[in-house]
Amino acid sequence: MIILFYIAAIVAVISTLCVILQSNIVHALIYLILSLLAVAVIFYVLGAPFAAMLEAIVYAGAIMVLFLFVIMMLNLGKISTDQERSWMKSSGWVAPGIMAAILLAQLLNVLGDYEYDLVPVEVGVMEVSTLLFGPYVLAVELASILLLAGLVSAYHLAKK
Amino acid sequence: MTFEVGSILNIGAILAVVIGVAAMLIWVERRLLSLWQDRLGPNRVGWFGLMQVVADMVKIFNKEDWVPPFSDRFVFVLAPAIIMTVILLSFGVIPFAPGVGIADSNVGVLFVLAMASLGAYSVMLGGLSSDNKYALLGSLRAAAQMVSYEVFMGISMLGVVALTGSFDLREIVLAQADGWYVIPQFVGFVIFLIAGVAESHRLPFDIPEADQEIVAGYHTEYSGMKFGMFFVGEYLGLVLVSSLITVLFFGGWMGPGFLPPVIWFAAKAFVFICFFILLRAAIPRPRYDQLMSYGWLFLLPLSLINLLVTAFIILSSQ
Amino acid sequence: MQTIPIEHGLILASILFSLGLIGVLTRRNVIFVLMSLEVMLNATGLAFIVASSRWGHAEGQVMFLVILTLAAAEVAIGLGLIIQMYRRHQTVDISVLSEMKG
Amino acid sequence: MLTLIKDTLISQVVTLWKVFLHTFAKADTVEYPDEQPHMFSRWRGRIILSRDPDGEERCVACNLCAVACPVDCIALQKAEDDAGRWCPEFFRINFSRCIMCGFCEEACPTNAIQLTPDFEMAEYERQDMVWEKENLLINGTGKYHDYNFYRVSGMKIHGKDKGEGLNEAPPVDVRSLLP
């Protein structure tokens, strides 16, 4: 199990790196799906099978399909790939890279001395649902209102 | 090496049987369709034309495996591999009989749904990378259809899950020892049947590949074994949906004791495979907008009402 | 059962978060920006799951679900905006939006 | 709502049942190479050139069939024999162009060219689909057993007027038919 965690972590990092370095948008999307699936494997290893499956169903299965659908609708072909490549040549990488590196260093610094070995215990669907419809029922309601708002506004925005 | 859930022998046997059955369905479907159309069907090669499968295989392996120069090569090659992988992975959580199965996951139902939602990528990426207008139209249709019908598929399964109290498919089968779920969950069964046909995009819901309108839809540009993988993937999806209906609504391997459980499972699944072929022979293809409005305006409320009533009955009987 | 040091999970989450941040800051294609945002949200969810695994509780998964719905709503609106933007400017270059003309 | 249920459910189930009943119906297929299909004598298949009851060629090289042919698959050249009667020097049908429409048969004044119920004309070489006169000519009368053009209308040849040749009937005197 523990080796699975590290394999999935390496896959996730490399494929995410491919996402932000890729100029072809469809390839980038496939790498992003791979990254999300790797994270789902990590969730499973960490004892959250429900979250892992939701990650695969909702994130990789539904949200990314929306992306792909929009890419198809906009018909971003070879021209946009070339354009993307020309945009990526610019030196705009330096400052954001440094900023992100500083952030990462800070986080690593904070997390480095936090040592605790976690033993993955499976937290099943039942516990999560008991919490969801118990103390966190307000969160569920808010999430549903948020989704409704998203639905209405997406319909309004994408309408001709 | 014993024959129990998850052993190498078990995995190998299930893989071989599933792929073999999917290949044989090429022959079964053609014979059954011709039976219902008052024809004879393939009966030349071997006994009753049984070797037609081998002949088709030889033909498809010998065909030129052509990748169009205008296509996106990486995605084009990836797409047919996705559908085979995803559907074969889904078989991993199906309990075929006591002791026969690859894994008993306690999120089995969700795993099947996750794999079904990933299967949409195969169709979409295949059509998108072909750089062909018919393929693109097919994959646009497929995207909308598969994402929509996945919703009803999930909700119709939830009635069964609520009755059992578990996402584990083996427990769902075991909970049907007293009575099959098709009786209390008949509406859920019908919705699951319709959504299953739409999800494996077979006739009458083969709108992504509607031959009369958009040539062959998303696999217009495919040839050789890549096309073969789409083809076998469709039959694998058929076997998967039939097995799922058997597991969820018809008591899986349960049956009178004079036959071994695996045989009962196979018999039930085969009845549903034949039923899907009958659907193909009998019912014409609906229009695209009819399909979508039928799903969202009829199936979605119906499945939600079904879930609500089931939950109400369960809670009030506690 | 072998154990996983918790900081490894959190470090992975922070690496993914930083990568997403670089993507958001550098890319000019608005779809790539949205995708990088997804990476960042996903990294946050990973951190929540690691934390819930640390305590053996389900609260982290609840928070992950909330993040998931947030991401779904955000993507729906974001893609709607992208379609609207493409209709008006025929481009996915995010820098055209900075030119505010009345 | 009721019509929706009727349209979406009942009619589909009825359709399924009706198609399912075809399980017990007999197949209509004729397994062709093992079992020859029954061909009707007026089937328009392979073209032949027939002979009259005396064993002479019926064709008089009038070119009407070639004119009537919509795909121009018939080619022939007129020749005269010693007696001065017309006959084809060559007669050629390109069966890879022929559409078996039967117009040539309708156009023929002497019933020489006829269509037969034979349809098995596959060849490996495209050139083999071009049939010459010796391939087309049969030793029989085809569909019209008693018909002999020269007995009905005749033809003036060297030294002999119409109706004076061997086996020829004298031409009909049109005036004698009047009342």
Q: How far is C101 from chain A (nearest CA, A)?
A: 21
Q: Which domain holds residue B229?
A: 8-317
Q: How does pLDDT run across B237-254, given as a tens digit for each residue?
A: 889 999 999 988 888 788
* Mean pLDDT across chain A: 83
Residue D130 phi, psi dihedral angles, 5° rounding: -90, 115
Verify whether the Cβ–Cβ distance D27 to B279 is below 8 Å: no
Q: Which of B117, B131, B292 to mutate to test the interface with A (most CBs of A within 10 A)?
A: B117
In a domain? residue B2: no
Q: How does pLDDT run across B173-196, given as a tens digit for each residue?
A: 888 888 888 888 888 888 898 888
Q: How many CB atoms lie within 10 A of CB C54?
A: 18
The domain made up of A1-93 has a fold known as: Four Helix Bundle (Hemerythrin (Met), subunit A) (1.20.120)
The nearest alpha carbon in chain B to D26 belongs to B38
In a domain? residue D68: yes
Chain D residue numbers with beta carbons less than 8 Å from the beta carbon of B294 are 8
Residue in the structure block whose two tokens are 């109290």: B165
| Whole-angstrom distance, CA of residue B101 vs CA of residue A140 | 36
Verify whether the Cβ–Cβ distance C39 to A32 is below 8 Å: yes
CB D93 within 8 A of CB D131: yes
CB D157 within 8 A of CB D83: yes
Q: How does pLDDT run across B49-91, given as a tens digit for each residue?
A: 888 888 888 888 888 888 888 888 888 888 888 888 999 888 8
* Identity of the residue numbered B13: A
* Mean pLDDT across chain B: 85
Verify whether the Cβ–Cβ distance A87 to C5 is below 8 Å: no
Q: How does pLDDT run across C40-72, given as a tens digit for each residue?
A: 999 999 988 888 887 778 888 888 888 889 998
Q: How far is B182 from chain D (nearest CA, A)?
A: 18
How many whole angstroms from its chain centre is CA B237?
3
Instruction: Give Rg (Cα) of chain C.
Output: 17
Chain A residue numbers with beta carbons less than 8 Å from the beta carbon of B125 are 26, 30, 68
* Identity of the residue numbered D94: N
Per-residue confidence band for D25, with pLDDT thresholds at 50, 70 and 90: confident
Q: Does A14 touch chain B (CB under 8 A)?
A: no
Q: Which of residues D159 and B168 earns the better pLDDT score?
A: B168
**Is the ipTM beyond the 0.90 threshold?**
no
Chains contacting D (3+ CB pairs below 8 angstroms): B
In chain A, domain spans:
1-93, 124-160
pLDDT of B4 reads: 67
Q: Which of B129, B167, B218 to mutate to test the interface with A (most CBs of A within 10 A)?
A: B167
Q: How much helix, strand and coil, in percent to the nearest 5, is found in chain D?
A: 25, 15, 55
In a domain? residue B293: yes
Chain B residue numbers with beta carbons less than 8 Å from the beta carbon of A72 are 124, 128, 136, 139-140, 143
In a domain? residue B313: yes
In a domain? residue B133: yes
Per-residue confidence band for A77, with pLDDT thresholds at 50, 70 and 90: low
Between the alpha carbon of residue B115 and those of residues B198, B219, B239, B300, D39, the distances in Å are 15, 20, 15, 21, 56
Q: Which of C24, C31, C70, C88 to mutate to test the interface with A (most CBs of A within 10 A)?
A: C31
Q: How far is A53 from chain B (nearest CA, A)?
A: 6
Between the alpha carbon of residue D38 and those of residues B299, C22, D33, D48, D118, the distances in Å are 52, 79, 12, 20, 11
In a domain? residue B3: no
In a domain? residue D15: no
Q: How many domains does chain D have?
A: 1
Q: With pLDDT > 70 as the criterion, what percentage of chain B qualifies? A: 98
Q: Which of residues D91 and A76 earns the better pLDDT score?
A: D91
Decide if pLDDT at D70 tops 90. yes
Chain B residue numbers with beta carbons less than 8 Å from the beta carbon of D25 are 38
With an 8 Å Cβ cutoff, the interface of chain B facing chain A consists of: 72, 74-75, 78, 105-107, 110-111, 113-114, 116-118, 120-121, 124-125, 128-129, 131, 136, 139-140, 143-144, 147, 150, 154, 167
Decide if pLDDT at B17 tops 70. yes
Selecting from A50, A57, A69 the residue whose C-beta is nearest the C-beta of B117 gives A57
pLDDT of B210 reads: 76
pLDDT of D103 reads: 92
Give D45's Cβ-side CA count (13 Å radius).
12
In a domain? residue B214: yes
Chains contacting B (3+ CB pairs below 8 angstroms): A, D
Tokens read off for D179: 């009342």
Q: How does pLDDT run across C75-95, given as a tens digit for each residue?
A: 988 888 888 888 888 777 777
In a domain? residue D169: no
pLDDT of A14 reads: 92
Selecting from B72, B105, B117 the residue whose C-beta is nearest the C-beta of A62 gives B117
Q: How far is D39 from chain B (nearest CA, A)?
A: 21
Task: Name every residue whose Cβ is closer than 8 Å to that of residue D79 and which is 6 or more positions away in sequence.
Answer: D61, D86, D87, D88, D89
> Once rounded to an integer, what is the mean pLDDT over residues B108-122?
87
Q: Does B37 touch chain D (CB under 8 A)?
A: yes
Selecting from A27, A53, A72 the residue whose C-beta is nearest the C-beta of B107 gives A53
pLDDT of C10 reads: 84
Per-residue confidence band for B1, with pLDDT thresholds at 50, 70 and 90: very low
In a domain? residue D127: yes
Chain B residue numbers with beta carbons less than 8 Å from the beta carbon of A71 are 128
> Once rounded to an integer, what is the mean pLDDT over residues D127-154?
84
Q: Which domain holds residue D65?
A: 35-144
Q: How far is C56 from chain A (nearest CA, A)?
A: 6
Decide if pLDDT at C101 tops 70. no
Selecting from C14, C58, C72 the residue whose C-beta is nearest the C-beta of A104 gives C14
Tokens read off for A114: 């936090």
The nearest alpha carbon in chain A to B141 belongs to A69
Q: How does pLDDT run across A14-41, given as a tens digit for each residue?
A: 999 888 888 888 888 889 999 999 999 9
**Three-state DSSP class for D123?**
coil
pLDDT of A145 reads: 92
Residue B278 phi, psi dihedral angles, 5° rounding: -65, -40
Q: How many domains does chain B have?
A: 1
Q: How far is A92 from chain B (nearest CA, A)?
A: 28
Chains contacting A (3+ CB pairs below 8 angstroms): B, C
Helix axis angle for B300-317 and B133-164, nearest 10°, is 10
pLDDT of D173 reads: 72
Decide if pLDDT at B256 tops 80. no
Chain D residue numbers with beta carbons less than 8 Å from the beta carbon of B287 are none
Q: How does pLDDT run across A132-159, given as a tens digit for each residue?
A: 888 888 888 998 999 999 889 888 887 7
Verify whether the Cβ–Cβ distance B36 to D19 is below 8 Å: yes
CB A77 within 8 A of CB A71: no
Per-residue confidence band for B293, with pLDDT thresholds at 50, 70 and 90: confident
Using alpha carbons, select from B287, B283, B286, B252 the residue that is nearest to residue B266. B252
Q: What is the CATH number of the domain that holds D42?
A: 3.30.70.3270
